[in-house]
């Protein structure tokens, strides 16, 4: 099939009210529309006042179809000179809209060559400066506490608006398409316990408490002792109350320590989507520390969001929307990078790898659905329209990335040399 990779332009009578463009806006528009001609997969329609521009495959043949409505002439300039961050900022400012933001993300990431051209040439100076600023957010002990607080200490009430009742802020696992978020979150917790082959006699260490859901579930349903640590002030206070409410103070020890300050020996170790906050400068320290905390026959499970091996080295020093606005100091490892550090910095070996990427796409869709139903409550908590649009962009940005597998999620199970207890079937 020959792809319709040329731009078609038609006039519309129902003009959308947009700001009068400056000379720079007009030039940026021409350049951005020319760059969009490189689109070859999916279909994108850009409606700008009385004009409609179409890119990519014919709409009737495309599997992914997206529509953008331009509300302000500065959008093109922001996209041209600030890349994907600029497009996010323009969306948050209300300068463009779409009936399906996830579809916009999907059609863009499906056209990686075009996206790289838009992000690497005209926006190079902006990204260089932004990346230098981002490097000041390194995940030292002090830096990690600041970076974690910037996101997780927003408000416990805010997160409770869209998370399940156990407050699991990580990918769930859906047994069937009709499984609810609540059921999928609990199934994920049970799946982790089985992968770790948890026993009542085990002492489980959790690095990254979240709001206490994993620690409480393991202690309550598997009878093991749990030590869990967080550096988030708000999560610590919430988890402390949740543990007390569950009557598990004798089973669960809650710490407020950086992982680098932990000591002791544990039978099992779990860390759910915490490695993204470690930073590539500290992977050696992180994995070596995890290994040292396990007994010679221990098991460790890490649930991690990863980028592809091909993209890792290009992305690790580049700032994007997520690192600027959502997770300062964040960095996604790749499977190969994790394997390399486990091989070089520990005596552990991989015994299980479970991909749950598409489960994360559905988890995000469920979070987004719940979030959209609670906008009045979000406003009541003091958050404004800009924040709401930022959060919408974040959820859709990640959902689209997982659906098209430019980012992935997996559960890695690693065993120490003397471990003979293999993961149990879920």
Q: Does 224 qualify as catalytic in the annotation?
A: no
Sheet holding 203-207, edge to edge: 252-255, 225-229, 203-207, 266-272, 294-307, 407-415, 349-355
d(CA 118, CA 81): 9
Secondary structure string (H, E, C) spanning 189-244: HHHHHHHCCCCCCCEEEEECCCCCHHHHHHHHHHCCEEEEECCCHHHHHHHHHHHH
Residue with tokens 């470690």: 278
Residue 42 Ramachandran class (φ > 0 left, ψ -120 to 50 alpha, else beta): left
d(CA 268, CA 256): 19
Among the listed residues 193, 331, 396, 398, the single catalytic one is 398
Report how far residue 144's alpha carbon sits from residue 329's, in angstroms, rounded to the nearest whole number: 8
Rounded CA-CA distance 356/264 in Å is: 31
DSSP 334: B
Residue 406: other Cβ atoms inside 10 A: 19
Residues annotated as catalytic (active site), given as ranges: 398
């Amino acid at each position: 099939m020959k792809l319709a990779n040329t731009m078609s332009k038609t006039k519309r009578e129902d003009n959308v009210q947009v700001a009068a463009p400056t000379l720079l806006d007009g030039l940026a528009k021409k350049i951005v529309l020319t760059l969009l001609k490189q689109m070859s997969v999916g279909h994108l329609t850009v409606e700008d006042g009385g004009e409609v521009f179409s890119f990519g495959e014919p709409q009737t043949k495309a599997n992914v179809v997206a529509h953008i409505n331009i509300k302000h002439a500065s959008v093109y300039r922001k996209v041209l000179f600030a890349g994907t961050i600029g497009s996010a900022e323009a969306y948050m400012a209300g300068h463009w809209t779409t009936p399906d933001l996830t579809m916009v993300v999907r059609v863009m990431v499906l056209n990686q060559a075009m996206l790289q051209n838009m992000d690497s040439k005209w926006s190079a100076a902006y990204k260089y400066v932004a990346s230098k600023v981002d490097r000041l957010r390194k995940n030292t002990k002090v830096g990690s506490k600041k970076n974690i607080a910037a996101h997780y200490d927003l408000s416990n009430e805010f997160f409770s608006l869209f998370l399940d009742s156990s407050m699991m802020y990580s990918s769930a696992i859906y047994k069937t398409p009709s499984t609810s978020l609540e059921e999928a979150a609990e199934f994920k917790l049970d799946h982790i316990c089985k992968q770790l082959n948890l026993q009542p006699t085990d002492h489980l260490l959790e690095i990254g408490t979240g709001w206490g859901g994993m620690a409480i579930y393991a202690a309550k349903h598997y009878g093991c002792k749990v030590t869990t640590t967080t550096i988030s002030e708000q999560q610590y206070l919430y988890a402390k109350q949740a543990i007390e409410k569950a009557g598990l103070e004798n089973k669960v020890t809650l710490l407020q320590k950086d992982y680098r300050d932990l000591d002791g020996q544990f039978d099992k170790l779990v860390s759910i989507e915490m490695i993204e906050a470690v930073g590539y400068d500290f992977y050696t320290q992180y994995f070596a520390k995890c290994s040292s905390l396990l007994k010679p026959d221990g098991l460790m499970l890490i649930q991690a969001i990863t980028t592809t091996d091909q993209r890792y080295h290009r992305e690790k020093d580049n700032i994007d929307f997520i690192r600027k606005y959502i997770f300062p100091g964040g960095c996604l490892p790749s499977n190969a990078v994790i394997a390399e550090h486990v091989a070089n910095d520990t005596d552990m070996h991989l015994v299980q790898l479970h991909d749950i990427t598409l489960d994360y796409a559905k988890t995000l869709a469920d979070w987004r659905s719940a979030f959209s139903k609670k906008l009045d409550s979000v406003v009541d908590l003091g958050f404004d329209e800009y924040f709401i649009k930022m959060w919408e962009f974040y959820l859709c940005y990640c959902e689209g990335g997982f659906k098209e597998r430019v980012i992935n999620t997996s559960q890695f199970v690693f065993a120490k040399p003397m471990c003979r207890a293999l993961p149990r079937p879920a």
